[in-house]
A = this chain, B = another copy of it.
Amino acid sequence: MTKNHNSYHRKVVMPANTMLNPVPVVMVSCAHKDHIDGRPNIITVAWAGTICSDPPMLSISIRKSRLSHKIISASGEFVVNLVSQELLKACDYCGVRSGREYDKFQECQLTSIPADSLLSAPAIDEAPVSISCKVTGVTELGAHDLFMARIESVTVDADLMDEKGRLCLEKADLVAYSHGHYYALGDILGFFGYSVASPKALKRRLDEIHKNTNRKSG
């Protein structure tokens, strides 16, 4: 296949902006006795990512002005709650309202439960997956501070486990965020390593995905 300059795509250069997409959108729960009388709070965060496999670590970025910045700085703990379609309206709400003015658990009719491995930060009972995190470091970057954290344990809805004890996360109906919009996860297009799988392994895995999820697979 030959290429010449004319076959190049026509491009437009835009000023720097936060263009990584899609990104996760998660509800971060936290609490500390010295803030809002110890009442648990939720902040919705799209600036989040896995940063290390071993030890398992993730980061979230929070503006200095936010109440949750103060709570997490004081407690050194937070829980990352993954967001199902059922939780999305509450998730959006927790991104636009402040815990200084609203009891977000109450407003969203969510249930605060003790989080595994942590002392003060609660988990959200209605979330399909709650990731208990302890802060290992904070880096000031500008508008946001980066909270790096070690994952201590992961709590999942028992309904997401199959009879062999495997987590079937595709049943959780998770939501992605891209350029201002929330999206359902759509068709499964492949699995890690599918591009180099043997035709036999490829067929077996895709059949398996199709069977387990009733989703179209590519």
Residue A195 CB within 8 A of the other chain: yes
Known: A48-B49, A55-B142, A141-B148. A176 touches B22 (CB 8 A): yes
Question: Which segment of A1-9, A31-39, A65-73 sits at the interface?
Answer: A1-9
Task: Kindly state the separation between the CA atoms of A51 and B161 in the bound complex, as whole angstroms.
Answer: 32
Task: Kindly state the separation between the CA atoms of A8 and B46 in the bound complex, as whole angstroms.
Answer: 27
Contact B51 A144 (CB under 8 A): yes
Residues of B within 8 A of A54 (CB): 142-143
Cross-chain contact of A154 among B9, B13, B125 (Cβ < 8 A): B13
Of listed A19, A48, A161, residue having the most chain B CB within 10 A: A19
Known: A129-B19, A151-B17, A181-B190. A49 touches B49 (CB 8 A): yes
Contact B181 A170 (CB under 8 A): yes
Known: A1-B109, A53-B144, A178-B185. A95 touches B192 (CB 8 A): yes
Residues of B within 8 A of A170 (CB): 178-179, 181
Residue A80 CB within 8 A of the other chain: yes
Contact A182 B191 (CB under 8 A): yes
Per-residue B-contact encoding for A70-100, CB less than 8 Å = 1, 0 else: 0000000000101001001110110111000
Minimum-distance CB pairs A-B, first 5: A49-B49, A186-B186, A184-B186, A92-B195, A52-B141
Chain A residues with CB under 8 Å of chain B are: 1, 3, 8-24, 26, 46-59, 61, 80, 82, 85, 88-90, 92-93, 95-97, 109, 111, 113, 116, 125-126, 129, 131, 137, 139, 141-144, 146, 148, 150-159, 161, 167, 169-170, 174-196, 209
